[in-house]
Amino acid sequence: MSEISNVRPRTDAVISKIADYADNYYINSPEAYETARYCLMDSLGCAILALRFPACAKLLGPVVPGTVVPGGVRVPGTKFVLDPVQAAFNIGAMIRWLDYNDTWLAAEWGHPSDNLGSILAVADYMAQKGREKSAATLKMKDVLTALIKTHEIQGVLALENSFNRVGLDHVLLVKVASAALSTKLLGGDKQQITDAVSQAWIDGASLRTYRHAPNTGSRKS
């Protein structure tokens, strides 16, 4: 029982550190921003190329055909203007479809640029809202900062934690990192980021099984 009782404090400490990093850490590395810019360009290249593949293209667009969201998120390479949630799925699917975007190999592995689905959707949504109110909008540096921080969160968690060994898929780490920085971009404070990250951890996780034969299908990517 003592081991079980110690789980909650350790988990709370990790979540608090993630929230504090997402909210307060200042990045002053030119190399980090240059790398993030290359990652963004690479990911958008993967996304645009994926539009040539009907299996990917047919998944894109609004849930209800013909729906346009005023002040919504523009999906690169398409005519779609969607709500932020559906836009995040569209952008994420495009980036990931060809399985060419960046890879991080550690105790766990994954593709940290998968976080761009949510980052780009939320950033464009907030930019549209800012223009409507003639207020300050996010800049590309804010996008790159969020990209760096999601890479760091996902990457550091993967260094010493092998989720696939217990049957969980590494997309759990994308969910945690994206929750933290999406909340930050939406204007959330540290407590709200903490709440979002907590929900991302406890709200279930995809099982590893869909990534391996005989279960592998189009959902893998």
One-character DSSP codes across the chain: -HHHHHHHHHHHHHHHHHHHHHHHPPP--HHHHHHHHHHHHHHHHHHHHHTT-HHHHTT-S-SSTT---TT-EEPTTSS-EE-HHHHHHHHHHHHHTTS-S--EESSSEE-GGGGHHHHHHHHHHHHHHHHHTT-----HHHHHHHHHHHHHHHHHHHHH--GGGGTB-THHHHHHHHHHHHHHHTT--HHHHHHHHHHHHHS---BGGGGSTTS--GGG-
Residue 112 inside a domain? The answer is yes
CATH number of the CATH domain containing 153: 1.10.4100.10
Residue 10 inside a domain? The answer is no
Residue 7 inside a domain? The answer is no
Residue 7 has pLDDT above 50, yes or no: no
Tell me the per-residue pLDDT of 153-183, one tens digit each, with 9 for 90 and over.
Answer: 999 999 999 999 999 999 999 999 999 999 9
Residue 93 has pLDDT above 60, yes or no: yes
Tell me the per-residue pLDDT of 190-202, one tens digit each, with 9 for 90 and over.
Answer: 999 999 999 999 9
Residue 151 inside a domain? The answer is yes
Residue 6 inside a domain? The answer is no
Residue 8 inside a domain? The answer is no
Range of the domain at 110: 15-220
Give residue 219's pLDDT.
65
Residue 5 inside a domain? The answer is no
Tell me the per-residue pLDDT of 23-40, one tens digit each, with 9 for 90 and over.
Answer: 999 999 999 999 999 999
Give residue 1's pLDDT.
37
Residue 191 inside a domain? The answer is yes
Average pLDDT along the chain: 90
Give residue 212's pLDDT.
80
Structural domain count, the chain: 1
